[in-house]
Amino acid sequence: MNSPVESLFAIIDETSQLLKEELACSYLEAVAETGENLFQGEILQDEVSELTKKRLHKKYEEIKIGSLENEDIRKAFQFAILKGMKENVQPNHQMTPDSLGLFISFLVNKFTQGSEKLTVLDPAIGTGNLLTTVLNQMPHVESDSIGVEIDDVLIKLAYVGANLQKHPLQLFNQDALEPLFIDPVDIVLSDLPVGYYPNDIRAGDYELKAEEGHSYAHHLFIEQSLKHTKEGGYLFFIVPNALFESPLSSQLHLFLKEKVNIQGFLQLPLSLFKNKNSAKSILILQKKKEGLKAPKEVLLATLPSLSNQRALEDILGKIDQWLVENK
């Protein structure tokens, strides 16, 4: 007997294939369309033939989407998106690994323990998988979320996924480094885009702009995120391991020293990445606030393989102990 995730994925996959052929669109676009149909409970594509509509209806009736757990919906939707990304590889179409999303959920819950309501921003939301992973691990916290994404297909996938999981989510389809008309939030979390930002004129408005040539996009995203974080709010970024070893690292370090208290820098296991050069870490920041003290020491650790349960439990215990001593 198939699991709920397998059953839902099979339906999403089959109906997406049908819509892909009928609409002459990509598989990823078809996944967004079929997700919208599942959420609305009807077939929204008028151009689809009557025969295909009947086939779609028959497949959709095989599953009661409202009876499924959020994590089952997210995982099934994620599998379909991953299949689409493999079929049509693009540099900006990448997804944060599930194990990493769950670990960031653990960190967010630990650092915000006791909070009853949180506003959350992901300035590079992509398909929304990281954000909804975290929200699904915060069932007892009332949350309002905001996402920014320049890619039309990815933001539609984020919109549909959040709807199916019943998460309130406000989305902005724009370059996140352009002005954002949003109120400051309690939490920022993001798998930061890494590389050079091509718009030198826009970059010129940032303190972390490069004096010559293009600026680092991930540096600018950090600065932009801080602009939209409440004093005392936390930021959780997935960043390159060499963040503080790059040619512009001294500039970034001075900026962070002025604006935030660095809480932690956790190096992720190399097994999560294709090679050493693409390896990443989790950077945890807290925006400065009057009367708020910096931790006695920054939380530094190299994480074991996230499948090594015993070693992982040891690290989680050390993080708990650090929180007791530094919060």
Domain chopping of the chain, boundaries: 4-87, 98-326
Q: How far apart are CA 253 and CA 259, in angstroms?
A: 10
Task: Choose the weakest-confidence range: 56-60, 172-176, 195-199, 302-306.
Answer: 302-306
Q: What is the pLDDT of residue 277?
A: 78
% of the chain at pLDDT higher than 70: 98
Mean pLDDT of 29-51: 95
Q: What is the pLDDT of residue 216?
A: 96
- Residue identified by tokens 């997210």 is 74
pTM of the model: 0.94
Q: What is the pLDDT of residue 90?
A: 61
pLDDT digits (tens, 9 = 90+) for 135-152: 999 988 999 999 999 999
SS3 77: helix
Q: Print the SS3 string covering 191-212.
A: ECCCCEECCHHHHCCCCCCCCC
Q: Is the pLDDT of residue 91 over 60?
A: no
Q: Give how far Cα 27 sits from Cα of 30, 73, 110, 206, Å.
A: 5, 18, 38, 38
Q: What is the pLDDT of residue 158?
A: 97
**Domain covering 98-326 in this structure, CATH number:** 3.40.50.150
Task: Choose the weakest-confidence range: 55-69, 91-105, 163-177.
Answer: 91-105
Q: Is the pLDDT of residue 218 over 70?
A: yes
Mean pLDDT of the chain: 93
Six-digit token string for 253? 């370090």
Query: Are the CB atoms for 15 and 59 separated by under 8 Å?
Result: yes
Mean pLDDT of 253-281: 90
Q: Is the pLDDT of residue 196 over 90?
A: yes
Q: How many helices (H) and strands (E) does the chain have?
A: 11, 10
Mean pLDDT of 19-34: 96
Six-digit token string for 235? 């930021």
Q: What is the pLDDT of residue 100?
A: 87
pLDDT digits (tens, 9 = 90+) for 270-311: 888 877 778 899 999 999 999 999 999 999 998 888 778 888
Q: Is the pLDDT of residue 175 over 60?
A: yes
Backbone angles phi, psi at 120, to 5 degrees: -130, 135
Is domain 4-87 in CATH 3.30.365.10, yes or no?
no
pLDDT band for position 94 (cuts 50, 70, 90): low
Helix axes 50-60, 27-40, angle to 10 degrees: 70
Q: What is the pLDDT of residue 191?
A: 95
